[in-house]
Amino acid sequence: MTEPSDRKFKQIGSRPIRHDGLDKVTGRARFGADFALPGMLYGVFARSPHAHARILSIDTSKAERLEGVRAAVTAADLPDLPDEWMGVTEGGTCPSEDSQNVLAREKVLYHGHAVAAIAATTFEIAREACGLIDVEYEVLEPVLDLGRALAPDAPILHENQAPFGDEPLPQGPTNIARQVAFEGGDLEAGFARADVVVEGTFETPMVHQGYIEPHACVVDVREDGTSEIWCATQGPFGVKRATAMIVGCDANGIKVTPSEIGGGFGGKLSVYLEPVAHVLSRKSGRPVKMQMTREEVFRATGPTSGARIDMRVGAKRDGTLVAAETRMAYEAGAFRGSAVGAAAMTVLTPYRIPNFKILGLDVVLNKPKAAAYRAPGAPIAAFATESLMDELARRLDRDPIDLRLQNAIEEGDHAKYGPAFKRIGLRETLEAARAHPHYRAPLAANQGRGVACGFWMNGGYQSSATVSVDEDGSAVVRTGSPDIGGSRVALALMVAEELGISVARVRPFVGDTDSVGYCDPTGGSRVTYATGMAVIEASRQVIEHLRARAATIWGVGLDAVEWQDGCAVATKGAAEKGSLPLGEIAEQMRMTGGPIVVSASLSPPAAGPAFGTHLCDVEVDPETGCTKVLRYTVVQDAGKAVHPTYVEGQFQGGAAQGIGWALNEEYLWDEKGRVENAGFLDYRMPVASDLPMIDTVIVEVPNPLHPYGVRGVGETPIVPPLGTVANAMRAATGVRFYSLPMSPPRVLEALESRQG
Amino acid sequence: MTEPSDRKFKQIGSRPIRHDGLDKVTGRARFGADFALPGMLYGVFARSPHAHARILSIDTSKAERLEGVRAAVTAADLPDLPDEWMGVTEGGTCPSEDSQNVLAREKVLYHGHAVAAIAATTFEIAREACGLIDVEYEVLEPVLDLGRALAPDAPILHENQAPFGDEPLPQGPTNIARQVAFEGGDLEAGFARADVVVEGTFETPMVHQGYIEPHACVVDVREDGTSEIWCATQGPFGVKRATAMIVGCDANGIKVTPSEIGGGFGGKLSVYLEPVAHVLSRKSGRPVKMQMTREEVFRATGPTSGARIDMRVGAKRDGTLVAAETRMAYEAGAFRGSAVGAAAMTVLTPYRIPNFKILGLDVVLNKPKAAAYRAPGAPIAAFATESLMDELARRLDRDPIDLRLQNAIEEGDHAKYGPAFKRIGLRETLEAARAHPHYRAPLAANQGRGVACGFWMNGGYQSSATVSVDEDGSAVVRTGSPDIGGSRVALALMVAEELGISVARVRPFVGDTDSVGYCDPTGGSRVTYATGMAVIEASRQVIEHLRARAATIWGVGLDAVEWQDGCAVATKGAAEKGSLPLGEIAEQMRMTGGPIVVSASLSPPAAGPAFGTHLCDVEVDPETGCTKVLRYTVVQDAGKAVHPTYVEGQFQGGAAQGIGWALNEEYLWDEKGRVENAGFLDYRMPVASDLPMIDTVIVEVPNPLHPYGVRGVGETPIVPPLGTVANAMRAATGVRFYSLPMSPPRVLEALESRQG
C-alpha cells in the first residue's frame, strides 16, 4: 500500500455534486414522516405532567372505548429487562432503563416522560384518547440541578441502584450513577512546581441537538411477529437490536429501512418510538405511524448534559504546563449514561501535562435522559480547559497560540486515557491559525478575539460494503451507513478513485438491514473513515477481478496484467496486448466468469484523532449585552479531505452549533421541572442572519491508519467554539465568563458587575 | 467437493414453510399494481383497432387539451434504434422492433398494438383522452395464419427485412424472419433403412401464459433524467436495460425495484409499460403508474406461438429409430423472435436418431409478438414427436414406454444441436413411470391412457449472491432473482445446509437493481441452479471466515480448525479447545475482524438438462365431446429436489398448463384479426374443478455440474402434457388428434368423422 502522504489522488479531494443532492433540493427525498402504508394507524404518547412521581396506577379503559382507538400500550406490555450496565458500542446501555425511558414503569422521572400510548385511526383521535387515560401519581420532589442532586439529603431517583465505575465509589444513597477517573504523575508534586495556577468553576446548561426533523417511524408487525420498521435513524441495525430487546422479540425477525435523515447529531442513535409503535402494531394488527411534535422532541428526547466543571491548571513561568486537576459533574438526565466518560478522555488530552487527575461523575436528575450530541461531552470540557489556557496566557503575557504550541501533544505522546498517539495534527492547526490573516486583522472598540483548540478521538467500529461493476462499466457501492453529511458521494469518490472511473458513474446506495452487510451507526465521525476503508478494500478486490478478466481475455498470466488509471495494462512480454479500459472488460463479464461483486467488512481497532483550532472575533454591545460574531475561522486537521465541500460543511456546521451553545442556547426550567421553551421560537438556535460566513482551513496531516490518510471530521468542529467565543468575550469585555450561555441578559449583568 | 450423489443432506430435501408465505396468504405481499407515489399520474394506452395498417398521422392535441391530461407520448418521442438482431440472453432481441412493439411507428401490426399513451390525473381521464387521439390509418390486409403468411402473394409485414439464420435462406419478399437448422447422419439413407415410417402434420394455436397478475408499473423520472421503476418482472436488470435502450437514456441512471410477481411463466421477461411510463413521467415531471386490464394482457402481451409441424419418423421393425425429419413453422407474431430455435433444439433430442434433419422457421404475421412461455417452443415440438412415438408403438405393437426406453438418450449421447450430455435421467423417469401403479391401473369404456416424454435444456446465465452472518447467529442471503416458485426458501435452505443453522434463521432477500449484484432474469429454470451455486459458493466462503474467526478466538492455526454441522471444531493437537457453534463465533465478530459478508458471482457455461415422463388417463364423453382428466402423474428428474414441495408444485403447475393447452386453450380470431375471447371467461384455462390432484414422482439423478446435483425443474413439466393427453385421447377414442385444442366441438367432430 502506498503511504497515504505520497499518494497522488485523481478524484479524492474534488468536489462533485452529491448523488442525493437533487432529491434533497427538489423535495423528492423521503424523510422519516414521509412513509405511509395502507390501513395505517396513528400512535400518540400520553406523557407525565410531573418531573418526578411514583406511578400508582394507569387505567386506559376509557381511552380504549373511544371510537377509532385500536390499541393502548403501557410498560405492562413490555418485558422486564436486566437492570445492569452493558458495555457496547457508543458507550454502553442498560436494557431495563432503555425500556423505562421509552415507557415509564414505576416512576416518571422527567416532565414529558411517556407513560402510555394509543393507536387510533387518526392522530386527533389518538390525542383525544390520551387525554382519557387515568394515571394516579404520587408526586415527589423533583431534582433539577447538580447541586441539589449531589446534596446529602437529595431525593434519590433510583433508590436501589449503586454507582459503578472507577474507585473509590461514593457510598449510597446517591444520584451519582457512575464514576470515571484518569490519573498520571504526582498531582501535588506537580502543583508544587507550578509558578502560576489558574482555576475556575465552569457551568453549562442542557442544550438540544436541534435537528430539524422530529423523530418519526412506521412499524408493521406481521401475524407471526416478524416486522418491518421505516424510520429516521443514524443506525438502522441499532434500531433493530434495541426494538427487539425492548419488546422482547427476535431481532432476526425485524427489518429496518432507514429514511433520509433531517439531522441527527447523535440524537438519532436513541430509540423512542419504534418499540411502542411495534407493540401498538402487534396489538392492533395494523401498521402504526408515530411522529413527534417539536415540543415532544424538546421535552422527551435526549439533549446533551448540563455540567459543572471544577478545574485548576498549573504552569511554570516559561509556560510549561506541570499539573492539572478537574472534577466534572455531568447531568445524565433521568437515567445514567451522560457523556462524562468521553469528556474525561478529551478534557486535558491536547496538552502535555505530566501530573494530572481527572474525575468524572455521571449524575442522574429529573430531566430527559441525555443522548449523544456531536463529540459528546467534549465541548463542555474544552470550554473549561481552553478558558483556563486563555487565562494562563494572559497571566504569563503570552500569545495564546504560542502557549498552546509550547504544550501541544504530538506523535508519540500519550492521551490522558492511555494510548500513545500516532501522527496527529494539533501543532499544524495551531500554526495554520497563527499564519491566517484573521489572526492579525485589526479590532475596534468592544471587539475581541478568541482562540481555542479542540480534540475528538473519532470512532472505528464495524462496517461492511459491497462494490459491483455493471456491464456498462458503471459501479454500485452499497453500505448500511445512513448519509448524514455527504457520505454517499465520499464513498463513491473512493470507488471512482480506485477503479479509475467517473464518480458520476458510481451509484452509492444506503440499504435496509436485510439488503446490506452490518454497519454500526453513522456517528463517532466513523463513516468516511471505517465504511470508507471497507469500500476501498472491496474496490481493490474488484480490481483484482478485473485484472483476472483481462488476463482471461488476453490469454495471458495474471502477473502480466497491471491496473493503471481505469485500465488493465499488459506487461512482462505481453505488452503487445496494450490496454483494456474497465468498460471493455465489463462488457465481457458475462463470458469471462459472470458479474463482479465484492463485499468487504472490518472492525478497525482505532481511528484517526482529529484536532482543530478556532478563531473568533466578537463585538459586544455594552448597551444591550448583545454579542455579534464578526468573524469566525475553523482550522482543522481532516487527515485527507475526501470531498472538501462537505468537510467544510462539517466545520461550519459544528462551529455554528457551538456558537449557539456559547451565546444563546439553554433549556429554561420552571420550579417544577417543566421546560418553558420547548420550541424553536423560544429555544434560540442561531439562524443564518446571526452568523457571518464561517471561514475554513483544511489541514491535511495523513492518518496512518487509513489508506488515504482520512480522519473523521464531523465532531471535532463543535469542540472549540465554546472556549473560542468565551475567550473572545473576555477580550472584548474584560470579563471571564464561567457560565453559558453568554446571552444578552447575562452579559449585561456581567458588564454591570464589572463597572460596579 | 463431495460428489453430489454421495452427499448426505441435513436440510436440503426438507419442506419448511417459505419465508414469503405468510405475506402471500394474508394479502400483505405487494404486487406490481400495489405501489403508489404522492402526486402520481395514471397512464393509459391508445391501441390500434386494426390488425395491419399503415399509420398516416397521429394527432394528440385534442387529447392533450382535456382537463387533467398532463402528457402524451407517441413513437415520435422515442429514439430510432438499430434494426438488427442482437444475440443476448434468452434468445436475442432487435432494439428497433422492441421499441416498435412498445409504440407502433410506421405500421400497426396487430389489433391492440399501442400507438400512443396519455398520462392524466386519473385512469378515467386518461382513458377518455385516448378516445380523443386522432390516428389516420391506411388499412392493409391482415396476415392471420401460417398458410397465408407463407403464401407467395402474402402481404409482407416488414418490407425491408431479409431473413437470417441457417442457410439456405429463402429469398424475399417473405414473412420468414429467421431459419434454424440442425442435421445429422444421412437422412435419405436412414429412411431407406426404416421398416416403418410414421408421419403427420401437427397444428397448435397461439395460447397465453395466463398469469393472474396483469402487467403494472410506477415510473418516476427525476429532473436530471435518472429514474426509479417499480414493477412486476422476472428480470429487473432486464427492465433497466430495455427501458434505457428504448427511451434512449443511460441505464446507469435507472433503479428497478421488482415487486412480488403474480405469475410470469416467461411473459414477464418482456417490457411493455415501463419505457412509455418513463417518457410520460419525464414529460409531466410526475410519477406515472400504468397497469394493464386483462383485455390488454390478452390483446397486446406476448402469448406463445401457434405452430405447424410436419414430421416423419422411421424405425426398424425391432423399434430402433433410424431417421426423422421435421419442418416447424412457428408464429412469431408481429415481430421476429418466436421460440422456434428452442423447439428445434428439443424436438428430437430425447431419442437416439442417427439420421435427422430439423428445419425451423420463424414466421411473422399480424398477431401480438410472441413471448417466452415455460420451456418456450418445446411443448409444441414434443406434441409432434410424442404423438408419432405413440403411433409407432401402436404400429409395432410395442409398449410405449419400452419403445422409448429402447431409444432413450443417455450420458455421452449428443443432443441434436451438438453437445454430448453428461449424466441425465430420461431412462430413470421412464422406468419410474413404468413401475408406477398408475401405469397398470384398469381403465373402463371411453377411457384411455397416454404416455409421453419431455426435455428442456435449462439455463445457466449470470447470478450473484451475498451471504452474511448477523451477531445473533442468523444469516441473510441477498440475490436479484425475483421469487416466482419458492426460490427464496430454496436459496435459504442452501445457506442453512452449508452453515448448519436452521432455515428459519436465514432471511432470503430479493433486492432492487442497486441493492444486489447482477442477476439475469428468473427464467430458463435457472435460479435454484445458478443463483443457488452463487449462494453455495458465498456460504462456503462464509465458513472460511468463520473458521478463521474460531482460529483467532482459540489462538490456533487455521489448519487446526474444521467446520462440522454448524460448529468450528479444533483438531491437530488443538483438540482440547473443543468446538464453537456458529452463534458463539458470531457474537464475537465485532472483536475478531468485524462483520462477515461475502459476495459471489458466476456465469456457468451450462446447466443440467431435465427430462420427464408423464402418464394421463382421460375419459371422453361421446355425447358431448367433453374430456375429463381422470388421473395424471408427472415423473421428472429434478437432479436433487432442494424443497420437494415446490418441486412438486412446479410439476403440477406445468402439467396443469399443458393440459389446458391440450384440451381447451386457444385465441379465437375474427376475420379482421381481432381476438374474440380476450378474458378469462371466454379464454378457457383449467380451474381446480377441471383437474384431478396431479400425482408427482421426483426422480433424483444428480446433475454433475451442481454441487448438490440440482437441475432446473420449472419448465420440463409443461413439455410432455400435450403429447400425453393426445395419446390418451387416441387410446380413449381411437382417433389421432393432430390439432389442438382437443376441445369438445373438435372432439365431437372427430368422433363423428370416425363413425362416418
Convert the pLDDT of each residue in A75-129 to its tens digit. Answer: 999 999 999 888 754 467 899 999 999 999 999 999 999 999 999 999 999 999 9
**A21-29+460-602 and A377-458+608-755 share one fold:** yes
CB-CB contact of B612 with B720 (8 Å)? yes
Could you give the residue ranges of the DSSP H alpha helices within B131-235? 146-150, 187-193
With 60 as the cut, is the pLDDT of residue B627 above it?
A: yes
Work out the minimum CA distance from B593 to partner chain A, whole angstroms: 5
Using one digit for the tens of pLDDT, what is the confidence trace for A440-460? 999 999 999 999 999 999 999
Q: Do A505 and B603 touch (CB under 8 A)?
A: no
- B-contacting residues in A 587-606 (Cβ below 8 Å): 589-604
CB-nearest partner of A505 from B252, B590, B602: B252
Using one digit for the tens of pLDDT, what is the confidence trace for A26-54? 999 999 999 999 899 999 999 999 999 99
Using one digit for the tens of pLDDT, what is the confidence trace for A383-413? 999 999 999 999 999 999 999 999 999 999 9
Instruction: Look at residue B581 in the predicted model and tell me its pLDDT.
Output: 97
Instruction: Look at residue B91 in the predicted model and tell me its pLDDT.
Output: 61
Q: Touching check for B474 and chain A: CB below 8 Å?
A: yes
Q: Touching check for A516 and chain B: CB below 8 Å?
A: yes
**If you measure CA to CA, which chain B residue comes closest to A592?**
B603
| pLDDT (mean) for B241-250 | 96
Q: Touching check for A281 and chain B: CB below 8 Å?
A: no
Work out the minimum CA distance from B280 to partner chain A, whole angstroms: 18
How many of the other CB atoms lie within 10 Å of CB of B397? 7
Torsion over CA: A581, A14, A493, A571 (sign): positive
Using one digit for the tens of pLDDT, what is the confidence trace for A642-652? 999 999 999 99
**If you measure CA to CA, which chain A residue comes closest to B237?**
A470
CB-CB contact of B53 with B138 (8 Å)? yes
Using one digit for the tens of pLDDT, what is the confidence trace for B373-414? 999 999 999 999 999 999 999 999 999 999 999 999 999 999
Percent of chain B with pLDDT over 70: 99
Residues in chain B: 756
How many of the other CB atoms lie within 10 Å of CB of B94? 20
Q: Minimal CA–CA distance to B389: which of B406, B377, B376? A: B406
**What does B385-424 look like in DSSP terms, one character per residue?**
HHHHHHHHHHHHT--HHHHHHHHB--TTPBPTTSPBP-S-
Specify the CATH number of the domain A377-458+608-755.
3.30.365.10
Instruction: Look at residue A634 in the predicted model and tell me its pLDDT.
Output: 98
Q: How far apart (Å, rounded) are the C-alpha atoms in residues B380 and B721?
A: 10
Q: Show residues of chain B in contact with A476, CB under 8 Å.
A: 514
Pull the grid cell for residue A739.
Answer: 457560565
CB-CB contact of B542 with B598 (8 Å)? yes
Using one digit for the tens of pLDDT, what is the confidence trace for B547-596? 999 999 999 999 999 999 999 999 988 889 999 999 999 999 999 999 99
Instruction: Look at residue B7 in the predicted model and tell me its pLDDT.
Output: 79
With 60 as the cut, is the pLDDT of residue B178 above it?
A: yes
Mean pLDDT (chain A) is 96
Q: Show residues of chain A in contact with B463, CB under 8 Å.
A: 594-595
Instruction: Look at residue B572 in the predicted model and tell me its pLDDT.
Output: 84
Phi, psi torsion values for B404, nearest 5 degrees: -65, -40
Q: Do A26 and B603 touch (CB under 8 A)?
A: no
With 70 as the cut, is the pLDDT of residue A300 above it?
A: yes
Q: Do B28 and A589 touch (CB under 8 A)?
A: no
Q: Show residues of chain B in contact with A468, CB under 8 Å.
A: 464, 517-518, 599
Q: How far apart (Å, rounded) are the C-alpha atoms in residues A236 and A244?
A: 12
CA A7 to chain centre: 30
Q: Do A516 and B516 touch (CB under 8 A)?
A: no
Q: Touching check for A470 and chain B: CB below 8 Å?
A: yes
Using one digit for the tens of pLDDT, what is the confidence trace for B100-159? 999 999 999 999 999 999 999 999 999 999 999 999 999 999 999 999 999 999 999 999
Contact partners, residue B724, CB within 8 Å, separation at least 6 = B386, B450, B451, B452, B614, B615, B616, B632, B658, B662
With 90 as the cut, is the pLDDT of residue B519 above it?
A: yes
**If you measure CA to CA, which chain B residue comes closest to A26?**
B223
Q: In which region does residue B267 sit, left (phi positive, over 0), alpha (psi from -120 to 50) or beta (all else)?
A: alpha
Percent of chain A with pLDDT over 90: 94
| pLDDT (mean) for A570-575 | 89
Percent of chain A with pLDDT over 70: 98
Instruction: Look at residue B509 in the predicted model and tell me its pLDDT.
Output: 95
With 70 as the cut, is the pLDDT of residue B664 above it?
A: yes
Q: Show residues of chain B in contact with A516, CB under 8 Å.
A: 515
Q: Minimal CA–CA distance to B605: which of B507, B481, B460? A: B460
With 60 as the cut, is the pLDDT of residue A3 above it?
A: no
Instruction: Look at residue B2 in the predicted model and tell me its pLDDT.
Output: 45
Q: Do A516 and B515 touch (CB under 8 A)?
A: yes
**If you measure CA to CA, which chain A residue comes closest to B591?**
A603
Q: Minimal CA–CA distance to A642: which of A24, A10, A23, A3? A: A10
For an interface test with B, give the residue of A25, A252, A461 to mutate (most B CBs within 10 A). Answer: A252
Q: Touching check for B677 and chain A: CB below 8 Å?
A: no
CB-nearest partner of B26 from A223, A600, A604: A223
Instruction: Look at residue B171 in the predicted model and tell me its pLDDT.
Output: 86
Q: Touching check for A501 and chain B: CB below 8 Å?
A: no
Q: Do B507 and A252 touch (CB under 8 A)?
A: yes
Q: Where are the domains of chain B?
A: 21-29+460-602, 377-458+608-755
Using one digit for the tens of pLDDT, what is the confidence trace for B27-84? 999 999 999 998 999 999 999 999 999 999 999 999 999 999 999 999 999 999 999 8
| pLDDT (mean) for B714-723 | 98
Q: How far apart (Å, rounded) are the C-alpha atoms in residues B693 and A130?
A: 55
Q: Touching check for B293 and chain A: CB below 8 Å?
A: no
Q: Show residues of chain A in contact with B23, CB under 8 Å.
A: 222
Instruction: Look at residue B172 in the predicted model and tell me its pLDDT.
Output: 76
Task: Quote the ipTM score.
Answer: 0.90
Work out the minimum CA distance from A717 to partner chain B, whole angstroms: 29
Instruction: Look at residue A754 in the predicted model and tell me its pLDDT.
Output: 82
Instruction: Look at residue B529 in the predicted model and tell me its pLDDT.
Output: 97
How many Cβ contacts (< 8 angstroms) between chains A and B? 140
CB-nearest partner of B599 from A26, A250, A466: A466
CB-nearest partner of A517 from B23, B223, B597: B597
Q: Do B597 and A466 touch (CB under 8 A)?
A: yes
Q: Show residues of chain A in contact with B541, CB under 8 Å.
A: none
Q: How far apart (Å, rounded) are the C-alpha atoms in residues A489 and A503?
A: 8
Q: Show residues of chain B in contact with A466, CB under 8 Å.
A: 466, 517, 597, 599
pLDDT category at A1 given cuts 50, 70, 90 is very low
Instruction: Look at residue A244 in the predicted model and tell me its pLDDT.
Output: 97
Helix, strand, coil proportions of chain A in percent (round to 5)? 30, 25, 45
CB-CB contact of A137 with A108 (8 Å)? yes
CB-CB contact of B454 with B378 (8 Å)? yes
For an interface test with A, give the residue of B243, B252, B533 to mutate (most A CBs within 10 A). Answer: B252
Q: In angstroms, what CA-CA distances link A101 with A77, A94, A234? A: 14, 10, 19
Instruction: Look at residue B86 in the predicted model and tell me its pLDDT.
Output: 82
pLDDT category at A756 given cuts 50, 70, 90 is low
Work out the minimum CA distance from A748 to partner chain B, whole angstroms: 52
- A-contacting residues in B 83-142 (Cβ below 8 Å): 89
Q: In angstroms, what CA-CA distances link B740 with A97, B201, B203, B665? A: 73, 12, 6, 8
Instruction: Look at residue A513 in the predicted model and tell me its pLDDT.
Output: 95
- Classify domain B21-29+460-602 at the CATH class level: alpha beta
Q: Touching check for B514 and chain A: CB below 8 Å?
A: yes
Q: Do A515 and B518 touch (CB under 8 A)?
A: no
- B-contacting residues in A 518-537 (Cβ below 8 Å): 518-519
